Amino acid sequence: MLHINKIRDCRDSCIALLKIKNFDASNLIDAVISKDNERKVTQQKADDLLSKGNQLAKQIGALYKTGKAFEANMLKEESSAIKESSKALQTKQRELEKEIQDILVQIPNIPYPTVPAGNSDADNITIKEVGAIPTLIEGAKPHWELTSEYNLIDFELGNKITGAGFPVYVNNGAKLQRALISYFLDKNTEAGYIEYLPPHLVNEASGFGTGQLPDKEGQMYHATEDDLYLIPTAEVPVTNFFRDVIVKEFPIKCTAYTPCFRREAGSYGKEVRGLNRLHQFDKVEILQVQHPAKSYETLDVMVQHIASILDELELPYRIMKLCGGDLSFTAALTFDFEVYSAGQEKWLEVSSVSNFESYQANRLKLRYKDDNGKTQLCHTLNGSALALPRIYAALIENYQTAQGITIPKVLQPYTGFDIIK
């Protein structure tokens, strides 16, 4: 969430920039400043009473020492009244702090100044496009037909045992999935990321720390009896490794493979067919905790790293700078990667890489000490390197031949075969 001091110091610019996200924050920002003003007055009153109470305690002690018990007892009555007033002010202060936080969590992150205005995909800016659109064989098929023909994925079996959106990978299909995961992890660790295998369920504090709660509560699977949430991405558990941490050295670089779980309520139709949108899918994530002065330089490096993986897979892709209307609630700047799916003749999003600046760090209390020894908020960044389903779909569609589905050279050491016949 935004820091109250930033909102107070830059009220007008915050409101103006949030309009790029199509969010009118004026009422919420004015409300939170007003509540914070009230909190400051309450804090001052409490401090004044505390000071007065301390002075009285010294006076009472001195009176007892000089045998003036009557005068001391009179002051004790006054001291008791001050303590009661102080408790009431402390209670009010806690209530105000909660009200301030309840307002702050409703305000999205402020977009970076270069974020373009807009409301839809058409307003996103193409930064780079790489690779030629493949020309497929006559009678080429989309991936949902290929996975059935080559016995790679059994969607009906997944529907039987769980429901729609929970595919079962079979034989060479499972090996290809595992090969992609291993390849992505190897690429990330070679780039200096430390590999983790985190839990797949998180508590409410973790969901709040990265901004999934309360914003995306309806999209998460909730184990209500234990009050735990199935993770929508490895970003949630891994970023929470650093909750309440004072960072001593930058950068912190993490990568993790996990299954991801998303309810995707309201998703239906041909746009979600096959692997295009699932309730459970595999993803390899990269994450960095960085010094604020270097976070945007780091964002560029992360974008280049993801691009290098797609270059090696020889998949045509493009990099998009998201417009304000497409930015997530927590992101300040996001670049999306889309690969071209020749069997469907359309672009598919396979990665988002984002800088959250201090938005998550403020929730997490993730800090460092500056040169003056003062605690400051870190910046957090993360990206998919990469999400499996649409990479898988584009790969088998683009690599289909009359002889079978060929495997990119970079994956062959992982699969153990060069073609699926």
For residue 113, is it within any domain?
Answer: no
Of 104, 136, 151, which residue is a domain's last?
104
Q: Are residues 125 and 158 in the same domain?
A: yes
CATH code for the domain in which residue 18 is found:
1.10.287.40
Q: Are residues 261 and 180 in the same domain?
A: yes
Q: Are residues 317 and 244 in the same domain?
A: yes
Q: Are residues 65 and 127 in the same domain?
A: no
3-class secondary structure, 115: coil
pLDDT category at 54 given cuts 50, 70, 90 is confident
- pTM, to two decimals: 0.92
Q: Are residues 149 and 25 in the same domain?
A: no
Q: Are residues 98 and 125 in the same domain?
A: no
| Largest separation between any pair of C-alpha atoms in the chain | 107
Residue pLDDT, tens place only, 299-354: 999 999 999 999 999 999 999 999 999 999 999 999 999 999 999 999 999 999 99
- pLDDT higher for 391 or 121? 391
CATH code for the domain in which residue 220 is found:
3.30.930.10
For residue 68, is it within any domain?
Answer: yes
Residue pLDDT, tens place only, 361-378: 999 999 999 999 999 999
DSSP string computed for 364-380: HT-EEE-TTS-EEE-EE
Residue 234 lies in domain:
121-420
Of 73, 104, 135, which residue is a domain's last?
104
Of 104, 136, 171, which residue is a domain's last?
104
CA angle 205, 249, 336 (to 5 degrees): 60
For residue 189, is it within any domain?
Answer: yes
pLDDT of residue 265: 66
pLDDT of residue 65: 82
Reported as half-sphere exposure (CB side, CA atoms, 13 A), residue 171 has a value of 9
For residue 111, is it within any domain?
Answer: no
pLDDT of residue 412: 98
Q: How many domains does the chain have?
A: 2
For residue 276, is it within any domain?
Answer: yes
Terminal C-alpha separation, the chain = 51
pLDDT of residue 64: 76
DSSP string computed for 53-95: HHHHHHHHHHHHHTT-HHHHHHHHHHHHHHHHHHHHHHHHHHH
Q: Are residues 141 and 284 in the same domain?
A: yes
Q: Are residues 91 and 126 in the same domain?
A: no
Q: Are residues 349 and 391 in the same domain?
A: yes
How confident is the model over 144-164, as a mean pLDDT? 97
